[in-house]
Structure 1
């Protein structure tokens, strides 16, 4: 079994956030262009999506090589990017890649919801070592995050179906991640009273 290794946190962030940012920049450069491949015309968005897939896989490969580990969430996200990126390219239809975000957030919400129905927090299984917290705290955080993912899934549907591709790319790259990060920061502050104190074990 591969041992987990520590790496520079800034490098880790660059590998995780670099591919989405690269997609955003590539899209800005190609959005007004069209390309001919094999007699088929592809928009700049489609080409940016095709470039994004190997960029993300390369970054994840480097991350795995340096740390010896990938989280289930990272693996699942990579699978979804490959699958829907492939559908986008194959059918030459940008809607597949836009729907990917809805399905990712929606599935996260469903998975957490299934755990809640069983009286469990699947978050605790994944994050308990990093964030020691009592069961009550995990259940509260799981309920709130389940709702947050559901809201983000609905929001993505509304954004890509009613707004321009330009706006969707900007919200996908910056809006949703920032909203999720702010939400989590607020929750951790509110749940401080449920944190385990290692000095009182």
Structure 2
């Protein structure tokens, strides 16, 4: 075996490590479990007030304090099992720690409610920056999932950029003008459903710009 063959073997092993597969139910539980637990815990504790070290915290703040380490642990477990994390997952965890931590530290739920706004502005801004450079950063993340021609990626990226900015605006309108419970429902179900509906409505684009499979 030559040195080149050994290097190739190491690269193949690295590729396998970077793409380890796990049970899809376990993967879904690690990705969405913390959000659902946050929602359930909030419904149970929303009317309660807890006194900790002489300071009163309402149920939302207490649930937020529990959600932060839970999300970090589930994300770490996902990384340990699969060997990889998407940039969106990493950015989400970082922003949850920052804004959730500020809410708990300052006993102010507004910071945690701003978190989805910051996430969608960040993602939308990154896509916009790529478009200004004539590139689709979305392609780098999702090319293996949805093989499209370059024109298709640019159109999809532009549409998703506007979708992210719209979701950031929607989050601001909801948390600033509606009760906390309304925002919790919106965050748990509304934002997820909005992204799902967005991709479901792009069927014509996927069909028009899909790459033809090599015939061999």
Q: Normalising by structure 2, report the TM-score.
A: 0.90
Question: Contact 2:152 / 2:206 at 8 angstroms: preserved in 1?
Answer: yes
Q: Tell me whether 1:62 sits opposite 2:87 in the alignment.
A: no
Larger Rg: 2
Q: Cα deviation per residue 1:29-78 (whole Å; 9 max; x = unaligned)?
A: 11000111111110100000001011111111111111011111101100
Query: Which structure 2 residue ranges, 5 or more long, are not aligned?
Result: 1-13
Q: Structure 1, residues 133-188: CA drift from partner, whole Å, max 9, x if none?
A: 10000001000000000000000000000000000000100011011111112114
Q: Partners in 2 of 1:25 and 1:188 — Cα distance?
A: 34
Deviation at 1:191, TM superposition (A): 2.4
Rounded to whole Å, the distance in 1 between the matches of 2:57 and 2:18 is 43
Runs of 5+ consecutive residues of structure 1 not aligned to the other structure: none
Matched, 1:118 2:133: yes
Q: How far has the Cα of 1:3 moved from its partner?
A: 3.3
Please list, as runs of the form range in 1=range in 2, the aligned pairs for 1:60-139 lying within 5 A after superposition: 60-139=75-154
CA displacement 1:111-148 (0-9 Å, x = unmatched): 10111111110001111122211000000100000000
State how far apart, in whole Å, the 1-side matches of 2:119 and 2:156 are.
19
Match of 1:168 among 176, 183, 199: 183
Tell me the C-alpha RMSD between the 2 structures: 1.3
- The number of aligned residues is 201
**What is the DSSP-based 3-state SS (H/G/I as helix, E as strand, rest coil) of the residue aligned with 2:19?**
coil
- The residue matched to 2:105 in structure 1 has which SS? helix
Describe the SS at the equivalent of 1:84: helix
Q: Residues 18-37 of structure 1, C-alpha deviation per residue, up to 9 Å, x if partnerless?
A: 11110000000110001111
Compute the TM-score of the two structures, normalised by the length of structure 1. 0.96
Is the 2:152–2:205 Cα contact (8 Å) retained in structure 1?
A: no
| Alpha-carbon distance, 1:189 to partner | 4.2
- Whole-angstrom distance in 1 between the partners of 2:18 and 2:168: 35
Which aligned segments of 4 or more residues in structure 1 are displaced greater than 3 angstroms?
none
